DNA sequence: TGAAAAAATGCAACTCGGTTGCAAAAATGC
DNA sequence: GCATTTTTGCAACCGAGTTGCATTTTTTCA
């Protein structure tokens, strides 16, 4: 997280907002910028910290509301991890995609690419609507940290 | 829920506890009984209500601790729903099984039977450990209630 | 059996993610 | 410009889950 995100990201965020025909507010742009720059899904807390680190802290409630709004607009989607914390990431074009939750650092990634179509048999009367697939395991960062413990020590704190 | 659960369930619960060689305490037995009788995963809250309804309320913390202990023993497993509430159910013999979360009433069921093996491609460095599959949709009860709205009105309040 | 150690329970206070109510500020419509 | 709507900010609140500690129960073992 740089002190000043690249102008391209600001434009990108603004464009995304214009595309869904709603007011472009600084808070929305800034949240989108942060999400555009993120390599993993971000929690409310990590977004707040990132904003605070860049000198413009979010109000807690405003951030929740912006995230709700973005989710409602379909620009962003949220996933709750095993720690019961919601994490947000840009809605990517892969309509149905799986997630990866690292059991070491807790970070959550969106997996792109071939999603296994899970053919499950449901009990009678049950109607399937959407299937969520979450892979649990160790992310690249934590695998590297485990094999080379010297380079460890950076807990993303997401 | 009956005032006194069937003795078979009490025995069943006691046997399960003996099998893992730990102290059989009334709290543990009662929690297991409730879970044995449940048709869907139960939240901490619904367990507390069920216990209170039968005249022997649980202490909040004791219940959490019993649930943690049961989970640690592998007798029970917990799943967090989209509402960030953990729900507990007996560990069933199907080692890997999928879940069904009803988007109307919020209840969570364990699906038994053929689990589609999700063949996902992970980014380099990522190691898969376990795959969680949750189907979202409408459960049998809510489907029935929707087609025959007259018979509605029972919100399980889970 | 009976005392000491360990495990389980109960209560109060607390943390933390998230929400609600309401007033101030900014944007929009005319 | 002025009225209406939307967004923002603050404070108080809610509910799931945890922690600390004292009390009770169970287990151990001399």
pLDDT-derived band at A99 (thresholds 50, 70, 90) equals: very high
Q: Which nucleotides of C are covered by protein (CB under 7 A)?
A: 7-13, 17-21, 27-28
Greater pLDDT, A63 or B54: A63
**How many angstroms separate the CA of A67 from the C1' of D11?**
21
B147 inside 8 A of chain A by CB? no
Helix-strand-coil percent breakdown of chain B, rounded to 5?
Answer: 40, 20, 40
Helix (H) / strand (E) containing B134? strand B127-138
Looking at residues A71-82, what average pLDDT do you find? 91
Candidates B115, B123, B137; nearest CB to A128: B137
* Residue in chain B lying closest to A117 (CA): B118
Q: What is the pLDDT of residue A79?
A: 92
- Tell me how close the Cα of A129 comes to any Cα of chain B, in angstroms: 4
Task: Dump pLDDT digits (tens) for B12-28.
Answer: 899 999 888 788 999 99
pLDDT band at A19, cuts 50/70/90? Answer: confident
What is the per-residue pLDDT for A113? Answer: 65
Cβ-nearest to B129 among A113, A122, A138? A138
Q: Using an 8 Å Cβ cutoff, are A71 and A105 in contact?
A: no
Q: Is the CB of residue B59 inside 7 Å of nucleic acid strand D?
A: no
pLDDT of residue A59: 95
User: What 3-state DSSP class applies to B72?
Assistant: helix
> How far off is chain A from B7, nearest CA to CA, in Å?
29
| Terminal-residue alpha carbon distance, chain B | 14
Quick one: CA torsion of A7, A10, A14, A15, rounded to 10 degrees?
60
For A29-56, the pLDDT digits (tens) are 999 999 999 999 999 999 999 999 988 8
Chain A CB contacts of B118 under 8 Å are 98, 115-116, 118, 133, 135
Per the structure, the residues numbered 15 to 44 in protein chain A that have their CB within 7 angstroms of any atom of strand C are 23, 25, 43-44
In the three-class reduction of DSSP (H, G, I as helix; E, B as strand; rest coil), residue B69 is classed as helix
Q: Tell me, what's the pLDDT at A151?
A: 43
Q: Which domains does chain B have, with CATH numbers?
A: 7-151 (1.10.10.10)
Which residues of chain B, if any, have pLDDT below 70?
1-7, 93-95, 113-119, 148-158
CA→C1' distance for B152 and D13 (Å): 33
Average pLDDT, chain A: 84
Q: What is the pLDDT of residue B146?
A: 76
Report the pLDDT value the prediction gives residue A118, as an integer from 0 to 100. Answer: 58
| pLDDT for residue A145 | 85
Residues B82-104: tens digit of each pLDDT: 889 999 999 876 667 889 999 98
Tokens of B82: 């989209």
Query: Could you tell me the pLDDT band of residue A70, with boundaries at 50, 70 and 90?
Result: very high
Q: A106-157 pLDDT, tens per residue? A: 999 998 765 655 567 889 999 998 888 899 999 999 999 877 655 444 444 3
Of B113, B114, B129, the CB nearest to A103: B129
Residues from chain B that touch A113, judged by Cβ atoms under 8 A, are 120-121
Closest among B38, B39, B33, B34 to B16, alpha carbons compared? B33
What is the pLDDT at residue A90? 93
Measured between beta carbons, which residues in chain B are less than 8 angstroms from residue A142? none
Helices B7-19 and B26-37 sit at what angle, rounded to 10 degrees? Answer: 120
**Are B131 and A127 in contact (CB < 8 Å)?**
no
| DSSP character at residue B4 | S
């Amino acid at each position: 997280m740089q002190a000043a995100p690249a102008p391209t990201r600001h434009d990108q965020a603004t464009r995304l907002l214009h595309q869904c025909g709603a007011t472009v507010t600084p808070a929305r742009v800034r949240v989108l910028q942060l999400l555009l720059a993120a390599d993993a899904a971000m929690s409310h807390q990590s977004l707040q910290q990132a904003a605070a680190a860049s000198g413009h802290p979010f109000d807690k409630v405003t951030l929740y509301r912006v995230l709700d709004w973005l989710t409602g607009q379909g620009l962003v989607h949220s996933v709750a991890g095993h720690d019961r914390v919601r994490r947000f990431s840009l809605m990517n074009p892969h309509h149905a995609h799986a997630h990866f939750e690292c059991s070491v650092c807790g970070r959550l990634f969106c997996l792109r690419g071939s999603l296994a179509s899970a053919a499950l048999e449901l009990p009678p009367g049950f109607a399937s609507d959407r299937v969520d697939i979450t892979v649990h395991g160790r992310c690249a960062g934590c695998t590297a940290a485990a094999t080379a413990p010297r380079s460890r020590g950076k807990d993303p704190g997401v």
